[in-house]
A and B are shown apart, each in its own frame.
Chain A
Amino acid sequence: MRSIQHTFLAASLVGALALSSLFTWAATVPAGVQLHAEQTLTRNNGAEPETLDPSLIESVGAANLTRDLFEGLTAIDAQGKIVPGVAEKWRQVDPLTWTFQLRPQAKWQNGDPVTAQDFVYAFRRLVEPKTGSKYARTFGDFFLNGKEVSTGQKPPQELGVRAIDKTTLEIKTSHPVKFLPELVSNPNLSPLHAASIEKLGREWTKPGNLMGNGAYALKSWQVNSKIVLEKSAGYWDADQVKITRVTYLPVEDGHVDVKLFESGQNDWVYMLPPGSYDAYLKKYPKDTRNTPLLALRFYSIQTQSPFFKDVRVRQALSMVLDRDILAQKVTADGQLPAYGLIVKGVEGADRVDYEWANWPMAKKVETAKALMAQAGVKPGAKFTFSYNTSEYHKKMAIFAASEWKTKLGLAVELEAMEFKVLIKKRHDGQFEMARDGWNADYNDATTFVALVKCDSDQNHSRHCNKDAEQLIQKGLKESDQTKRKAALNEAIRLIMNDYPIIPLLQYSLPRLVKSYVGGYNTENQMDRFRSQDLYIIKH
């Protein structure tokens, strides 16, 4: 639980970030690159979006779409860097207060100016229970009174956002949030055109109704077939937007996706089918891309279950699992082995591996066996591993079970189930060990710390390290970034030495993108590509 601190430092830190709007930030085409005559892009989005209402979106695919249709205070460019959006500059007034200066030329599609009030309306709508957003807490908790508003204890008017004037927005946070400029780039925090929503109700996201302020407007939407966006002429930076039409496909099956790519109907395969990465790398060396994501694959251990009560058992199981074979042979799609909570590229804490990470396997097994013996677990002992039905997870689970059987003599019962069932079991703690994974909502260590901290709804292990919790709370209140990082590092070290989870791999995103899609790159670890930052090279 995050405590709310109201201590405003007298000598407030003046925000260092004050970016000028003199630069344009959309598609920067390198000198010498010739553009294709037809600037259209078809990108598969992996699934049909659950909604296009920014307050209600949850999935990566819906976020991709709303990033094109709406523009928040800030944005993430193709390189994964924060750039101004509707806000042309911003300033941290004191550790808990920020002001964002909006550009006067930002417009809604109907020509209305985008005002600070539009952000206030949107933020309140996201957080208040009436809306029913599953991301109310995720983002709401960062704002002053956000938690109280999301739980219905305070009215939405008390949320820490306020329009000082038409183009100045003030945000008060519940604790120092150094990465607020990045946080507000999230499409859940896009401005909303209140008049459209109030007038049209549930119908407001339909083609012809949807009022956005982004680089693109919604042209057509056929469920489970495609969503077509067209460049919005009124967008303030329209001159820099190269692609004029974007078609989003909702294809879930990787094989079908690749076939559409091969027959020229798709420029962008969402994700290659499991196990096919090497083959496609050989077949299409220029088009095959792989980005390490800010995401962790892990197994959650129910630390209160009888089998896993003893930390030595949990440690032994983590030690003997050969991540190198898992990455190179089992999943074989360019993922990186993970030996800690924090993956490569995450800000706000260091990536620290277990000290045994580089030991030879024989030594790991020997140590693990000793730990098991000390804990009194005999070979032949049995536990259940739960995963959601999928070839990919099954392959990984069979490998893990065979590691534990051959190296420690344990019998693992594999239990497959639907995803919805697994989610419920994990939340209810009705499992012994379960497949798990997390994709960062924003680039800060806290998004991963939430997986293991006390009283977090994402802490499926139900493990709570009180000392670590104190450090985390201390770190969150800290506005000195070095001290904050040190506190979080130490907290993570303490928690991970209790082995509540078994970190396995850092997710990567193996996919095919036509080499003529300019602006696409593998540096963007959040995989957030606005279509306005891309362009089609002559081919």
Chain B
Amino acid sequence: MLAYTFRRLLITIPTLLVVIGIVYILLFSAPGGPFDSERVVPEAIQAQLMSKYHLDLPYWKQYLLYIGQLLQGDLGVSYRYADWSVNELVSGALPVSLAIGGLSIVLSLLIGILMGALAALFRNSLVDYLVMALGSLGSVLPSFVLGPLLVLAFAIGLQWLPSGGWDHFSWPFMVLPVSLLTLINVSTLARIMRASLVEVMNSNYIRTARAKGLPIRLIVFRHALRPSLLPVVTILGPLAVSSITSALVTESIFSIPGLGILVVNGAANRDYTLVLGLVVLITAMVVLVNLCVDLIYAFLDPRSRA
């Protein structure tokens, strides 16, 4: 198991190198550069800026220079946020995104699995219909509709919570964004959990267990739950990454200083280093989350331990 984990972590390195290379090509082939502005900058100043940020070097040199910096843990300086380094920007935004995304993932897992399981066990009952109705609502209402509705109800109408903003992880500012992300994730997770458990409950070994006269509680907890979690775990990887790194809509609705707004501003302003830094971060996260997912898989399904 350890060797497997280590091997998987090692693969991250070439993955990162390739991803950085591809992003490099994409960034530099996009028209417009970081220093294009309404006014044309005199050549002397343009040259000064280019050499300050090593943009006057050939692409391959820039790439190597960047990798060299990266090895020292330095993500470079930002052009869009000129007073800040990418390290500073990321270390400011990452905890915010982790808090919102992480909390919502935990909550949606708990609620989603519970709701999905209930719906599956009480199939075609009122519980099932309610859960499925809620689930459908969460999937048909996009976050840019659901978010403002939450704000309208709880911030402007009832005035219980702030409508947006961020204040050092103070909880009132986190309630609405976490709720929004949770509502959306729960609907996906509950539907998957329901479908999966229904299928498992119809399988032969469960039928055998029932025929043996095992109580339903035992059947569900000992035999059915674990295998029915597999599809949930599969979806968990991408869901977790997207909740943390690309919750852009949530961030903009609630004006939260997370990673999403950095990604968008970085790309729009051709902030090469900021975009690269974020890509490195997100790639690393995807790899890690996928590794976790595989490890959980191994735990849930003995057949995949080979």
A127 to B6, CA, bound (A): 54
Given the known A-B contacts A58-B37, A151-B43, A256-B164, are A223 and B84 also in contact in the complex, defined by CB atoms under 8 Å?
yes
Report whether B31 and A424 are in contact in the complex, using a CB–CB cutoff of 8 Å.
Answer: yes
Report whether B163 and A262 are in contact in the complex, using a CB–CB cutoff of 8 Å.
Answer: yes
**A-B residue pairs, 8 tightest by C-beta:** A420-B32, A457-B40, A224-B257, A152-B44, A263-B163, A225-B257, A129-B44, A51-B82
A72 to B148, CA, bound (A): 42
Question: Is the CB of B242 closer than 8 A to any CB of chain A?
Answer: no
Report whether A265 and B84 are in contact in the complex, using a CB–CB cutoff of 8 Å.
Answer: no
Report whether A263 and B81 are in contact in the complex, using a CB–CB cutoff of 8 Å.
Answer: no
A 246-259 to B, binary, CB cutoff 8 A, 1 in contact else 0: 00010111011001
Question: Is the CB of B41 closer than 8 A to any CB of chain A?
Answer: yes
Report whether A265 and B40 are in contact in the complex, using a CB–CB cutoff of 8 Å.
Answer: no
A58 to B43, CA, bound (A): 18
A24 to B253, CA, bound (A): 43
Report whether A263 and B84 are in contact in the complex, using a CB–CB cutoff of 8 Å.
Answer: no
Residue of B nearest to A135 (CB): B39
CB-defined contacts of A133 to chain B, threshold 8 Å = 45
A253 to B250, CA, bound (A): 12
CB-defined contacts of A416 to chain B, threshold 8 Å = none
Given contacts A51-B83, A132-B45, A225-B255, 7 further A-B contacts (CB under 8 A): A58-B37, A132-B49, A223-B92, A225-B166, A226-B165, A265-B164, A418-B268
CB-defined contacts of B40 to chain A, threshold 8 Å = 427, 457-458
Binding site for B on A (CB under 8 A): 48, 50-53, 56, 58, 129-138, 150-152, 202, 205-206, 222-226, 249, 251-253, 255-256, 259-260, 262-265, 418-421, 423-424, 427, 457-458
Question: Is the CB of B80 closer than 8 A to any CB of chain A?
Answer: yes
CB-defined contacts of B80 to chain A, threshold 8 Å = 50
CB-defined contacts of B83 to chain A, threshold 8 Å = 51-53, 202, 205-206
Interface-central residue, B38, B253, B255, B268, by most chain A CB under 10 Å? B255
CB-defined contacts of B222 to chain A, threshold 8 Å = none
CB-defined contacts of B256 to chain A, threshold 8 Å = 225
A134 to B93, CA, bound (A): 28
Tell me the minimal C-beta distance from A190 to chain B in angstroms. 16
Residue of B nearest to A206 (CB): B83
Residue of B nearest to A59 (CB): B37
Question: Is the CB of B52 closer than 8 A to any CB of chain A?
Answer: yes
| Residues of chain B in range 46-73 having any CB-CB distance to chain A below 8 Å | 47-49, 52
B 255-284 to A, binary, CB cutoff 8 A, 1 in contact else 0: 111100110010011100000000000000
Binding site for A on B (CB under 8 A): 31-33, 35-45, 47-49, 52, 77, 80-84, 89, 92-93, 148, 151-152, 155-156, 159, 162-166, 252-258, 261-262, 265, 268-270
Say which residue of B33, B42, B165 sits within 8 Å of A136 (CB atoms): B42
Report whether B31 and A260 are in contact in the complex, using a CB–CB cutoff of 8 Å.
Answer: no
CB-defined contacts of B41 to chain A, threshold 8 Å = 134, 136-137
Report whether A48 and B265 are in contact in the complex, using a CB–CB cutoff of 8 Å.
Answer: yes
Tell me the minimal C-beta distance from B159 to chain A in angstroms. 7
Residue of A nearest to B264 (CB): A252
A-B contact pairs, 18 of them (CB 8 A): A53-B82, A129-B42, A134-B35, A151-B43, A151-B44, A205-B83, A223-B84, A224-B93, A225-B165, A251-B255, A255-B148, A259-B151, A259-B156, A263-B151, A263-B155, A263-B162, A263-B163, A458-B38
A265 to B252, CA, bound (A): 16
Report whether A265 and B45 are in contact in the complex, using a CB–CB cutoff of 8 Å.
Answer: no
Say which residue of B52, B82, B252, B269 sits within 8 Å of A253 (CB atoms): B252
A53 to B256, CA, bound (A): 25
Given the known A-B contacts A129-B44, A224-B93, are A260 and B255 also in contact in the complex, defined by CB atoms under 8 Å?
yes
A251 to B163, CA, bound (A): 13
Given the known A-B contacts A151-B43, A259-B163, A262-B163, are A223 and B89 also in contact in the complex, defined by CB atoms under 8 Å?
yes
Say which residue of B84, B93, B165 sits within 8 Å of A260 (CB atoms): B165
Tell me the minimal C-beta distance from B77 to chain A in angstroms. 8
Given the known A-B contacts A222-B166, A223-B92, A420-B36, are A50 and B257 also in contact in the complex, defined by CB atoms under 8 Å?
no
Residue of B nearest to A140 (CB): B42
Report whether A137 and B255 are in contact in the complex, using a CB–CB cutoff of 8 Å.
Answer: no
A134 to B35, CA, bound (A): 9
Residue of B nearest to A259 (CB): B163
Given the known A-B contacts A48-B265, A225-B257, A420-B268, are A265 and B39 also in contact in the complex, defined by CB atoms under 8 Å?
no
Report whether A223 and B257 are in contact in the complex, using a CB–CB cutoff of 8 Å.
Answer: yes
Report whether A423 and B36 are in contact in the complex, using a CB–CB cutoff of 8 Å.
Answer: yes
Report whether B32 and A263 are in contact in the complex, using a CB–CB cutoff of 8 Å.
Answer: no
Tell me the minimal C-beta distance from A417 to chain B in angstroms. 8
Residue of A nearest to B144 (CB): A255
